[in-house]
Copies of this chain bind each other. A is one copy, B any other.
């Protein structure tokens, strides 16, 4: 009997490890890597690495460029705008749908918890904890929205910009105002106010995006 998680396929492991390496910056943006190099680094043959790169390519994290190695995709300011535009629409949709589904306090317990965690993290100025809670908040929100495709896209796009977000996390003001948005959204969902939920979250996202682009501009960052 295996007390650990059941042994995953090597390919799945490669996807996981490579994703981590990309998000953490261990594989830096715009760097090229041969399949054989990655295979050696991961201690496996080229086959699972190849399969993993295909998957990661479809997730938008890298580009397979024959004979030049896979290139870790940089996230340009333009990319950020595209991603945030989609996230704004789809999350707002999810918020509205969630409000329309008649959730009660129990159903929203997880969401409420993420809000509390953000608040607490803000108090102790723990940016990492705040970022984690914020991501959980968004994940739970789209889950509540009940459209699995929306949830998938949001998850994928979050992966794409996570590195960028990490970079800016310590270079921006603490998002003290955003928690008001979160609470307001929670209330809108609980009270079933579809339009208000949509409105609040859309505004929240638009402001977050503006803040981010300003920070990037101030830092003179073109890509991450």
Residues of A within 8 A of B (CB): 50-51, 54-55, 58-60, 82-83, 85-86, 89-90, 93, 147-150, 153, 157
Contacts of A147 in B (CB 8 A): 82, 85-86
**In the bound complex, do residue A93 and residue B89 qualify as a contact, i.e. CB atoms below 8 Å apart?**
yes
Contacts of A85 in B (CB 8 A): 93, 147, 150
Contact of A58 among B50, B55, B82, B149 (CB under 8 A): B55
**In the bound complex, do residue B50 and residue A82 qualify as a contact, i.e. CB atoms below 8 Å apart?**
no
Q: In the complex, A60→B51 CA distance in Å?
A: 17
Q: In the complex, A86→B149 CA distance in Å?
A: 8
In the complex, what's the smallest C-beta–C-beta distance from A186 to chain B, in angstroms? Answer: 22
By beta carbon, the residue of chain B nearest A160 is: B149
Contacts of A93 in B (CB 8 A): 85-86, 89
Copies in the complex: 2
**In the bound complex, do residue B51 and residue A86 qualify as a contact, i.e. CB atoms below 8 Å apart?**
no
Contacts of A82 in B (CB 8 A): 147-150
Contacts of A150 in B (CB 8 A): 82, 85-86
Contacts of A58 in B (CB 8 A): 55, 58-59
Q: In the complex, A124→B50 CA distance in Å?
A: 49
- A sample of 16 cross-chain residue pairs with beta-carbon separation below 8 angstroms, ordered by A number, consists of A50-B51, A58-B58, A58-B59, A60-B149, A82-B147, A82-B148, A83-B149, A85-B93, A85-B150, A86-B147, A86-B149, A86-B150, A89-B89, A90-B90, A149-B157, A153-B153
Contacts of A148 in B (CB 8 A): 82
Contacts of A60 in B (CB 8 A): 149
Beyond contacts A51-B51, A54-B54, A86-B147: 10 other A-B pairs, Cβ-Cβ < 8 A, are A51-B54, A55-B58, A82-B148, A85-B93, A86-B90, A86-B93, A86-B153, A89-B90, A89-B93, A90-B90
